[in-house]
Structure 1
Amino acid sequence: MDDTVDPRLLAHADVWGRKASLRAVYGDYYFRMLGALPPKGKYLEIGAGSGHSRDFTKGRDITRLDILPAPWVDTVADAQSLPFPDESFDGIFLLDVLHHLAEPRKFFEEAARVLRPGGRIAMIEPGITPISWLFYNYLHEEPVDMIADPLADQHYGADKDPFDSNQGIPTLLFRRQEHRIALSEAVPALRTVDRQWLSLFAYPLTGGFKSWSLIPAGLADFLVRLEDRLLPALGLLMAFRLFVVMEKRP
């Protein structure tokens, strides 16, 4: 075991290697995010975590950033203070990162700065709906606070752990009108070009990065395709994910 890597990342990497169903669902997530970015150019992954994006991004010019060091991380830095020159990237993607940030506004300001005009951000985050709230609130270790101000400092403290979070932040920012307007006014360089509910059954049935899974990989693929047909009718009630694409204005 590499004692220079946070043991939680190593635990996630171990689960990733053992759970084909999880890899199937996350493979769909990366396919969607990368498909929403410009087809060519330089990309920044924020929150490289346990390094599983490497399975789906071969052939891309990607800089992988995380606040925790690991052999697969190219740059160790805070997403709210990116160590890159202006207009360095054509696309940014992040999976389960935004809800961990203490000051989301600073992240969006920094993302807008390092993106080239026309560049895009694609992110997939927890989506809070009536059904998913039960799962996230009672079966997940991270809290859900739906009355927080998502653009304010979340007050985690100076010794914030990278895993501290509020799973409600993305839904508040992109599904509540007052917060969508506030974000647009706070970071006018960015505009939201797509936001949609994602994931009904497959993701929770995989168990995420828990040790258990209730479905094999083959069934996960089938459920992901079935979900695409059902999401227009059921997304608002029971989606587990929120998929958002933003673009830097020319």
Structure 2
Amino acid sequence: MFLPSTYFPTHEENRFANEGDVGRAREFFLKHRPRNLEFLLRKRYEWMNAYIQPGQRVVEFGAGSGLSKEFIRHDNFRLTDVEPRPWVDDVADAMDPPQADGSIDVAVFSHMIHHLPNPVRFFEGIQRKLAPGGLILIQELNTCFLLRLALRAMRHEGWSYDVDVFDPDVVANDPRDPWSANCAIPQLLFRDEAEFRRRLPGLTIERNELNECFVFLVSGGVVVQAKTVELPEFALKAIDAADRLLVGLLPSVFAMGRSIVLRKAANA
């Protein structure tokens, strides 16, 4: 199958039902706690606990269904989203955060970077809101070959490698549509660490780990739910082990996820 450098399906082409219905997704997860999906979400969030200290001010932007609070254990963890929802603590646009400069110790972003209209302006803004030495914890997509095949098959979200994500004037997504998605953004940002440091010198990359493949596919999805067979824990762990092997051997084919830790300079 030919995979172009740019591919954006329309909302009408999407083969998933309930696109963007985070309320339904939240209700479904909390009611049923499907094993495959819970296993995936544990992997996406629980690693972040090691980077969060007691007493720190922790904010998630673009919280969506708000399921991060099921896995990130912290008393001062606030959820924000651009749309008001019952489980959201503060309504905030990640491109123009209302928090005071230097007021956040840890900023959390899960699968929202690929929705940004302008990535470099976003990071410059979040950097100002972080306290000196503050952290940005990111869990994101990585557009490996298999993920692009899946996106093309389901026509759920698209990608474009034909944008300079470090250009402050670039339009990487439709700024009028919070669900506009360019899934190539995380890969374009983090595949060349030296380039990232050169373009955003106030942030240091402390972790940049590729992960996830079939454990993502068998989950059924977070916001949209595809039909899947619920697997026992031992089978999910076996799939996870196979994923680690495959991602290590052929990341360009199998790595569907990426975990990133960025630190603001202590003297900034």
Give the TM-score, by structure 1 length: 0.86
- Asked whether the equivalents of residues 26 and 65 of structure 2 are also in contact (C-alpha less than 8 Å), the reply is yes
> SS at 1:206's partner residue?
coil
- Provide the residue aligned with 1:3 in structure 2: none
Q: Is the counterpart of residue 25 in structure 1 residue 40 in structure 2?
A: yes
Partner AA of 2:25 in structure 1: H
The list of structure 1 runs, each at least 4 consecutive aligned residues, that deviate by more than 6 angstroms after superposition, is none
- Following the alignment from structure 2 to structure 1, what is the Cα–Cα distance between the partners of residues 241 and 59? 28
Partner AA of 2:62 in structure 1: G
- Following the alignment from structure 1 to structure 2, what is the Cα–Cα distance between the partners of residues 155 and 130? 21
CA deviation after TM superposition for structure 1 residue 70, in Å: 0.5
Gaps of 5+ in 2: 1-18
Q: Is the counterpart of residue 57 in structure 1 residue 72 in structure 2?
A: yes
Partner AA of 1:165 in structure 2: A
> SS at 2:83's partner residue?
coil
Q: Is the counterpart of residue 164 in structure 1 residue 180 in structure 2?
A: yes
Partner AA of 2:205 in structure 1: T
Trace 1:64-213 onto structure 2 (pairs within 5 A): 64-152=79-167, 153-154=170-171, 156-157=173-174, 160-176=176-192, 181=195, 183-208=196-221, 209-213=224-228
CA deviation after TM superposition for structure 1 residue 136, in Å: 2.4
- Asked whether the equivalents of residues 49 and 73 of structure 2 are also in contact (C-alpha less than 8 Å), the reply is no
Partner AA of 2:53 in structure 1: P
Gaps of 5+ in 1: 1-5
- Following the alignment from structure 2 to structure 1, what is the Cα–Cα distance between the partners of residues 87 and 131? 25
- Asked whether the equivalents of residues 57 and 104 of structure 2 are also in contact (C-alpha less than 8 Å), the reply is yes
Change (3 A) 1:15 1:105: same
- Asked whether the equivalents of residues 87 and 116 of structure 1 are also in contact (C-alpha less than 8 Å), the reply is yes
Range that drifts further, 197-206 or 148-157: 148-157
- Following the alignment from structure 2 to structure 1, what is the Cα–Cα distance between the partners of residues 198 and 207? 18
CA deviation after TM superposition for structure 1 residue 154, in Å: 2.0
Selected match of 1:12 from 16, 25, 31: 25
- Asked whether the equivalents of residues 35 and 230 of structure 2 are also in contact (C-alpha less than 8 Å), the reply is no
Range that drifts further, 232-241 or 91-100: 232-241
Q: What do the CA deviations read for 1:146-185 (whole angstroms, capped 9, x no partner)?
A: 2222234326456x121111011101111146xx51x434
- Provide the residue aligned with 1:244 in structure 2: 260
Partner AA of 1:171 in structure 2: Q
CA deviation after TM superposition for structure 1 residue 29, in Å: 0.9
- Following the alignment from structure 1 to structure 2, what is the Cα–Cα distance between the partners of residues 50 and 188? 33
Change (3 A) 1:166 1:157: closer
> SS at 1:117's partner residue?
strand
- Following the alignment from structure 1 to structure 2, what is the Cα–Cα distance between the partners of residues 171 and 83? 28
- Following the alignment from structure 1 to structure 2, what is the Cα–Cα distance between the partners of residues 220 and 171? 26
- Asked whether the equivalents of residues 80 and 92 of structure 2 are also in contact (C-alpha less than 8 Å), the reply is yes
Q: What do the CA deviations read for 1:26-75 (whole angstroms, capped 9, x no partner)?
A: 1111012332x243311111111011112112343112111111011111
Give the TM-score, by structure 2 length: 0.81
- Following the alignment from structure 2 to structure 1, what is the Cα–Cα distance between the partners of residues 241 and 58? 27
